[in-house]
Structure 1
Amino acid sequence: MPTELDAALHAIPGYAERAQAADAIRQRLGEHRRSLLTVDPTAISLGQARQQITEQLVDFAGRESLPADLAGHGWGRAWRDSMRHAEQQNLQAILSEASTLADSRVRLCIERNSAPALEHLHQRLRDVLFEARGTSRLRDVTLAYEEIRQAQKTITIQVMNPGPAECRGNIRPTLDLLHTAGEIADQFEQWPRWTRDGKPGSPQYDERPPWPAGEDMNRLDYTTAYLKWATTSPARFWVPTIPQLQAAAVRHHQLEEARLLHAQAVRNGYTPADRWTIPAELSVDTMLGRLDMKETANV
């Protein structure tokens, strides 16, 4: 059964063909390497082959003129063994380069066209939240929800931090972006972290979030308790595409700035000391309207 990540990636046009090519070449490269490691004790060594060929060439040249096509002349077993060895080494180099190229094409396919994969995961998220609402097998649904989020993280990191995994730099900013804007579209509204007097100011980091959380309140733990909260919460869950994620991150930053500016104005006496409200132009509905995304995954 395909994983959520596999199913999402196969929603990308052209991905299946590129992945199949990469898998086939990788398999052949592995088989070829194993065959080279299998040593036939009866086979002539490359050093012996070179010595025998050298002697044959000298003897032949002493009796008659050397042929124009030395490579095409039959020089016996030593020649065949040495040529076969060279061919195998060359083929391994070619297979290795082809494998690297095929993997690169798979990565580029994902990096340049991730939207269908993330849209597929968004629909799966809606299905899973709907299923969680009416099932007693909440553990199974929780595992499916976590798998969707892991697939989202894998794809988003690959797009935001392109290139082979071993060459990627710091992915912490991408993970932070996913947490603040990539899971709940209206997280700012759900957990604004006002000051203790109810007015905007510096965030109160000891204020508990509305969802069940562990010791690290800034981390979303995918437990059955979290999924129970998700099915009854007004929060608007989503799996955003990369442009949607970036737009949500900009909105989150603008809200933080507007809230802190209001708090400063209150402290300086320029603004009445009332609780700040989110401006209409920065509301989540306005953002989703600009993104032409009318439905989030809340149920």
Structure 2
Amino acid sequence: MSASWMEPVNLYVVVALPPGERKSAVFQKITAPLERLERELVEHALPDIEAAGVRKRIAERQAADAEKKAGDSTVGNPQQFLDDAIQAARDAEAIEVPVAPRLIADDTTPEALASLLAEQRGRIGVLSAEGGIFEILAGRYNKGQANLDVFLKGHSGDAVRVDRKGRAPEHIPEPAITLGLTVQPDVIRALADKPGFRGRGLVARCLYALPTSTVGYRDARPATVSPSVAAEYERRLMAIGRRSGHPGWHRPHPHAHAGGARSRRVVHGSD
């Protein structure tokens, strides 16, 4: 019997090195193209965000005027005034103001991350040169109660549904979080002791790298990264971003391509 299945290709990667290993400097080099791409996405989306905001504010004022007119009407057709007010309110509500595109989050709470995922069509990268996100997940702002659901589901692609008081429900059908952290070894050693981290599988979802320390043995004149290699790295990251169908590209762009489907690897096997 043959079978096939699909796996998300987003990864959770944790690199551990002691202080003095220049983690932050390397991290900045790696993420710089993503930061530039995010700024480009925001710049590209800003005209549509501003235009939609103007349309919505005008529609809301018109809806408020229609509601006032319906409430004050003593002559004419009160039912018509009411119908007009209801329709104006619906028209205003139907205008969606796009959010600013985001590619990267840092030390965000699980609740804020779920909202970011909903806004960004289920895709976000949590990238940080520190491991503070683990303390947040362990309950730093939640009286010590671990809240791991969004990270567990963001790795496997299970649907996320969030209901909060005073806000519309949020539903992310196939979330994909990419986690990239550079931390100190003590952070990794402490993970297994955090409530729920091992038992619920968060620890097992991460790929770990513990490079050999070069403190005291570092080459004082190391070879630099070739400018052509750095340029190609940035070019490829930018190309992937432009093909992604990110909401920041909701207007045609000279370098944009159709796309946006969840990237998956199809694995075939047999019993």
Q: Which has a greater percent of helix?
A: 1
Rg larger for:
1
TM superposition score normalised by structure 2: 0.30
* TM-score, normalised via structure 1 length: 0.28
> More relative contact order in 1 or in 2 (CA 8 Å, sep 6+)?
2
